[in-house]
């Protein structure tokens, strides 16, 4: 039975991805809940039947009071036993069936599937954002918004279907029931309802921004706490536990203040509602008793009116809290939309084709990029790298080396100029096809919180176990991998490496990253300080491995340790975003320019980072 309801909606149903999701709240919800429309209609219909059933039971209670009060007990039971038996069967059998259908639609068909659908689509959308988008926000805050929006969306749908539909139907049923007896009984009910609607409108209008502010404050707390945990080595190294506690404490206090403002609104709302409901109970009960005293109503009507007032009294608290929960959920969704509904910042061009790799010729023409700041980055770079050529890139920090690599990978779109691979503008091809042709080892290697095997196979998921182990051996990592053990007892290639690979040393992480790139075997190879985390002995072995891996590939290698690129076919020196010098190691030394000064000043093979004043004094 459960499986039937659970399979009414497929949360992974195919849908048309858009680069610019709806930015308005209800448009966003309508777009995400489209697969649930038929189930929503069915759930609404069942909820209406459920509410009418409850109103009908109140009416029947009045009928029982009337015939028990007007007849001899034995005669009443003799005349109405079939009717009472039918009512009992209804209450014992049919009513549970209707209630079960109602609950199953909400709890089994809608809530889990809607949460799954929103999580799935939100995560897919976030992963399509460019690298620069992630660099402008806390990973913790992004993750928090992705995680809190799905339950908030399902909560909003649940409250609308469960509370709002039930309440509206119950009110209409109550009006119909009392008006059928005496239209004067509607007066206190209508007056109460108008007051209740006004209170609801005012309260919701105030709770909505307060709920959104509280949700934003909670996300800020998550962002700051995750930032501390993700950088725990720096926190401990500088003994800044207290500083991080204070940093998080500021956000925690802001969250407390925001929640207090929200709770004040709710408390005032609750007090006013209690007074309003008191007026309904007294008004409806008094009027029904007066009608009975005047001979215009039976005892059963007095019982029904009083029971109706008490039921509405209890229900209004539920509805008010449900309304508050609904507004809070919508506020959370609206806050989450600030992240998961942002347009994709870097997309494939319309009609983009896959990159057709032929030889590996890279042509950079007038390349300019300053990250929108007008300074830094690259300034009109012209550079041609022949197929199979090995080019080293050197320069001071901030000279534009990393920017060049990010533009080559199309992590950003260049502000001017173009990069061509085999005559194809990389801005006109699909991003995935471009990056499949490029293997890269970065200076700051970050591994996935998975097994060693998963991390290496990330380079080529369809590779065999033998291919993976061969890549690890070539990266001088097989032996230490075999000795690994994690806290769960998993060993070797099955050992977990921890978040960002923290359970491994820097050199071990670097060698696993090298194995991953070796396994990928892409025709273009980018090395960004690929051996920076290795000791000298291992580095010497890895360097020989790298030169073997480079065979037949077009290579761009960034290095501060000049000895690691001295054997390159050509070395390009960047300065202030421009090409200052280029040539072989020997040619650049003979020029006695920037490269020669770098070579003279390096200690252990690193470029000196002297400032402009020191250079001017030479």
State the pLDDT at residue 533: 55
Average of per-residue pLDDT across 586-601: 89
Does 285 or 524 have the greater pLDDT score? 524
- Element spanning 52, H or E: helix 37-70
Give the pLDDT confidence of 234-281 residue by residue, as tens digits.
Answer: 888 788 889 899 999 999 999 999 999 888 888 888 888 888 888 888
- Assess contact for 98 and 53: CB atoms under 8 A: yes
State the pLDDT at residue 613: 32
Q: What is the pTM of this model?
A: 0.75
State the pLDDT at residue 299: 81
Please list the residues that pair with 429 across neighbouring strands: 353
- Element spanning 418, H or E: strand 416-421
**Residues, the chain, total?**
618
Averaged pLDDT score across all residues of the chain? 84
List CB contacts of 33: < 8 A, sequence separation 6 or more: 40, 114, 153, 157
State the pLDDT at residue 292: 81
State the pLDDT at residue 531: 66
At what angle are helices 299-340 and 25-32 packed, to 10 degrees?
A: 90
Closest-CA residue to 251 (of 202, 294, 302, 217): 217
Does 156 or 162 have the greater pLDDT score? 156
State the pLDDT at residue 375: 67
Does 96 or 609 have the greater pLDDT score? 96
Question: If you search the block for the tokens 């950079």, which residue do you land on?
Answer: 364
What is the phi/psi pair of residue 601, to 5°?
A: -90, -15
pLDDT band at 617 (very low <50, low <70, confident <90, very high): very low
State the pLDDT at residue 534: 61
Closest-CA residue to 521 (of 543, 551, 565, 476): 551
Q: What percent of the chain has pLDDT over 70?
A: 94
Dist. CA 448–CA 188, nearest whole Å: 65
Q: How far is CA 460 from CA 45, 184, 523, in A?
A: 51, 78, 14
Average of per-residue pLDDT across 325-337: 83
Dist. CA 498–CA 520, nearest whole Å: 23
Does 62 or 481 have the greater pLDDT score? 481
Q: Which of 63-77, 89-103, 228-242, 274-288 has the lowest mean pLDDT?
A: 63-77
Strands 570-575 and 578-583: antiparallel
Q: Which of 65-79, 363-377, 547-561 has the lowest mean pLDDT?
A: 65-79
State the pLDDT at residue 441: 83
State the pLDDT at residue 604: 44
**With 90 as the cut, is the pLDDT of residue 377 above it?**
no
545-548: Cβ within 8 A, 24+ apart: 545/474, 545/475, 545/476, 545/514, 545/518, 546/514, 548/474
State the pLDDT at residue 191: 85
- SS3 for 116-183 is HHHHHHHHHHHHCCCHHHHHCCCHHHHHHHHHHHHHHHHHHHHHHHHHHHHHHHHHHHHHHHHHHHCH
Q: Which of 268-272, 344-348, 582-586 has the lowest mean pLDDT?
A: 268-272
Q: What are the structural domains of the chain?
A: 2-340 (1.20.1560.10), 348-437+522-618 (3.40.50.300), 448-520 (3.40.50.300)
314-322: Cβ within 8 A, 24+ apart: 315/167, 315/170, 316/196, 316/273, 316/276, 316/277, 317/270, 317/273, 317/277, 318/163, 319/163, 319/164, 319/167, 319/200, 320/200, 320/203, 320/269, 320/270, 320/273, 322/159, 322/162, 322/163, 322/164, 322/167
End-to-end alpha carbon distance in the chain? 84
Average of per-residue pLDDT across 51-55: 82
Average of per-residue pLDDT across 317-336: 78
Give the pLDDT confidence of 186-195 residue by residue, as tens digits.
Answer: 788 788 888 8
**With 60 as the cut, is the pLDDT of residue 166 above it?**
yes
- Assess contact for 584 and 403: CB atoms under 8 A: no
Dist. CA 15–CA 12, nearest whole Å: 9
């Amino acid at each position: 039975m459960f499986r039937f309801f659970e399979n009414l909606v497929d949360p992974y149903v195919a849908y048309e991805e858009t680069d610019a999701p709806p930015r308005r709240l209800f448009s966003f919800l309508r777009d995400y809940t489209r697969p649930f429309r038929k189930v929503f209609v069915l759930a609404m219909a069942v909820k209406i039947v459920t509410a009418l059933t409850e109103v009908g039971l109140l009416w029947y209670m009045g009928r029982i009071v009337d015939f028990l009060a007007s007849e001899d007990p034995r005669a009443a039971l003799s005349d109405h036993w079939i009717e009472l038996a039918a009512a009992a069967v209804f209450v014992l059998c049919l009513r549970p069936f209707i209630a079960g259908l109602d609950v199953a639609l909400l709890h089994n068909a809608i809530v889990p599937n809607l949460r799954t659908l929103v999580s799935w689509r939100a995560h897919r959308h976030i992963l399509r954002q460019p690298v620069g988008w992630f660099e402008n926000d806390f990973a913790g805050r992004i993750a928090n918004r992705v995680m809190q929006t799905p339950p908030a969306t399902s909560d909003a749908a649940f409250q609308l279907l469960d509370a709002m539909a039930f309440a509206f139907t119950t009110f209409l049923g109550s009006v119909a029931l009392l008006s059928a007896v005496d239209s004067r009984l509607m007066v206190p009910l209508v007056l109460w309802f108008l007051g209740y609607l006004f209170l609801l409108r005012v309260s919701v209008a105030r709770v909505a921004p307060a709920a959104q502010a509280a949700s934003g404050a909670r996300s800020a707390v998550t962002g700051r706490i995750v930032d501390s945990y993700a950088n725990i080595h720096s926190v401990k190294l500088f003994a800044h536990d207290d500083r991080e506690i204070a940093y998080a404490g500021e956000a925690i206090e802001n969250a407390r203040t925001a929640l207090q403002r929200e709770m004040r609104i709710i408390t005032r709302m609750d007090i006013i509602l209690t007074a309003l409901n008191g007026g309904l109970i007294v008004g409806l009960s008094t009027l029904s008793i007066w009608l009975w005293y005047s001979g215009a109503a039976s005892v059963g009507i007095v019982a029904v009116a009083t029971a109706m007032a008490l039921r509405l009294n209890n229900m209004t608290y539920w509805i008010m809290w449900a309304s508050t929960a609904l507004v809070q959920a919508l506020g959370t969704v609206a806050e989450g939309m600030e992240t998961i509904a942002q347009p994709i910042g870097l997309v494939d061009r319309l009609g983009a084709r896959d990159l057709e790799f032929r030889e590996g010729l890279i042509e950079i023409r007038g390349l300019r990029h300053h990250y929108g700041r007008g300074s830094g980055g690259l300034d009109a770079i012209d550079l041609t790298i022949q197929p199979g050529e090995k080019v080293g890139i050197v320069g001071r920090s901030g000279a534009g080396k990393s920017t060049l690599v990010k533009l080559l990978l199309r992590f950003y779109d260049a502000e001017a100029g173009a990069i061509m691979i085999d005559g194809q503008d990389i801005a006109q091809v699909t991003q995935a096809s471009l990056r499949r042709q490029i293997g890269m080892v970065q200076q700051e290697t970050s591994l996935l919180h998975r097994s060693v095997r998963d991390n290496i196979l990330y380079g080529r998921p369809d590779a065999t176990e033998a291919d993976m182990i061969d890549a690890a051996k070539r990266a001088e990592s097989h032996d230490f991998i075999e000795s690994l053990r994690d806290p769960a007892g998993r060993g070797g290639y099955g050992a977990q490496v921890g978040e960002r690979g923290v359970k491994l040393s820097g050199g071990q992480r670097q060698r696993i990253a090298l194995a991953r790139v070796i396994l990928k075997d892409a025709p273009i190879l980018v090395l960004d300080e690929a051996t920076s985390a290795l000791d000298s002995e291992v580095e010497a072995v890895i360097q020989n491995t790298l030169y073997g891996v480079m065979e037949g590939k077009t290579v761009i290698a960034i290095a501060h340790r000049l000895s690691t690129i001295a054997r390159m076919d050509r070395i390009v020196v960047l300065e202030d975003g421009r090409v200052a010098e280029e040539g072989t190691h020997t040619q650049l030394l003979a020029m006695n320019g920037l490269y020669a000064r770098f070579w003279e000043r390096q200690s252990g093979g690193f470029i000196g980072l002297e400032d402009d004043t020191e250079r001017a004094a030479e």
